[in-house]
Structures are given as C-alpha cells and as structure tokens.
Copies of this chain bind each other. A is one copy, B any other.
C-alpha cells in the first residue's frame, strides 16, 4: 500500500539516510519537476487512490472529507510524455541488501506495465536499494523475463546489475532516469 508523501514516514525506521539523499519518492518528484521546468518532459506522480465514504459540505468549495480509505492502485504511480512517447513506471525502495521482494509490486501493476509495452508505451520499474544507495531502472520486458523464467519471489541484485540500468544520483536533477530512456529500450548493454 502506497501512502502519500509524509504520511508514509510514520512507519519508517528512525535511522536517518539524509546523507545518502532523500527518499526515492521525493527524489523522483523533484526530478520530474526539473523535467517540467526545463521543458524536457511532462511526467507526474498520480494522486493516491482513495475511496471516500463521508464528506462534510460546508460549501461547494469547502468540503472536508471525514472518512476515506486507501485503495489498492490498479495502475502505477507515475506517467507522462517524453519526446512524444508515453512513459509509465512504478518506483519502490527496499532495505534488503541482496534482492528485491516481488510482493512490493502488485500483480495488476505488472500486468498494467505489460499492456503499456504492448501498446507502444515505455514501461519500467525504478528500484532503490536504500542501504546500498543504488537505484536501478528495469524495463518491463526484463521484469517479465525474470518472472517467466524464475520461481523466486524476489529479484536478486545481480539481475538488476545484469539487466537493469543504474540511475546515477545528481544534484539537479536528482535521478536523471530519462538519460537511460534516451539510449532506447532495446539498447543492448555492454558487459
């Protein structure tokens, strides 16, 4: 379950990672803002999906939601347009050192990314290994390849190293993931 910025933090370990950069969501939001301000791409994080049960209407423009629940998202968190192409991705952090547990991503989010790919969009996941301070972009085709050829419930770090692309951390933009998209989805990695 994905909570909006700030609220998620209540659950977090109190260990500070501040000298290793902000959390992934903040980094991606500031990167996307950089892309928009510099007219590079128009990519946003979608609002958190909720179900509203009770609303107080003081007036038409001053309504207070009094009861609502977080919904399981049917799509991914981020989408937008870059050089005419549709971009769609999900971003997750893990505190694990050696693998990324697949249950961090809902099955229908993976199915969603597969559909995006089939319709000519560019779908991927961004995974940050917080304790290693390494952030990878993994295209949906490679995520699907892993799932179809493995029975493992988590993706080893080595798979990200072999099939994913490191997103280098910078000052501004923080995580320039479009640089990887520029290489092309079917760009073959040199090993």
> Which residues of A come within 8 Å of B, CB atoms?
1, 3-4, 7, 10-11, 36, 39, 41-42, 44, 46-50, 52, 55, 57, 60-61, 63-71, 74-75, 79-88, 112, 115-116, 118-121
Bound-complex Cα distance A25 to B108 (A): 23
Q: How many copies does the complex hold?
A: 2
Q: Assuming the A-B contacts A7-B52, A7-B55, are A42 and B1 also in contact, with contact meaning beta carbons closer than 8 angstroms in the complex?
A: no
Given contacts A50-B68, A64-B67, A79-B80, 7 further A-B contacts (CB under 8 A): A1-B61, A1-B63, A39-B118, A42-B112, A42-B121, A65-B68, A82-B119
Establish whether residues B42 and A11, one from each chain, have CB atoms under 8 Å apart when the complex forms: no
Of the candidates B47, B52, B65, B112, the one whose C-beta lies within 8 Å of that of A46 is B47
What's the dominant secondary structure at chain A's contact region? mixed
Establish whether residues A69 and B63, one from each chain, have CB atoms under 8 Å apart when the complex forms: yes
Establish whether residues A81 and B44, one from each chain, have CB atoms under 8 Å apart when the complex forms: no
A73: nearest residue on chain B (CB-CB)?
B47
Of the candidates B10, B50, B81, B86, the one whose C-beta lies within 8 Å of that of A50 is B50
Establish whether residues B3 and A63, one from each chain, have CB atoms under 8 Å apart when the complex forms: yes
6 A–B contacts from the bound complex (CB under 8 Å): A47-B49, A63-B69, A79-B80, A80-B86, A81-B121, A84-B120
Q: Assuming the A-B contacts A4-B52, A65-B69, A67-B66, are A84 and B121 also in contact, with contact meaning beta carbons closer than 8 angstroms in the complex?
A: yes
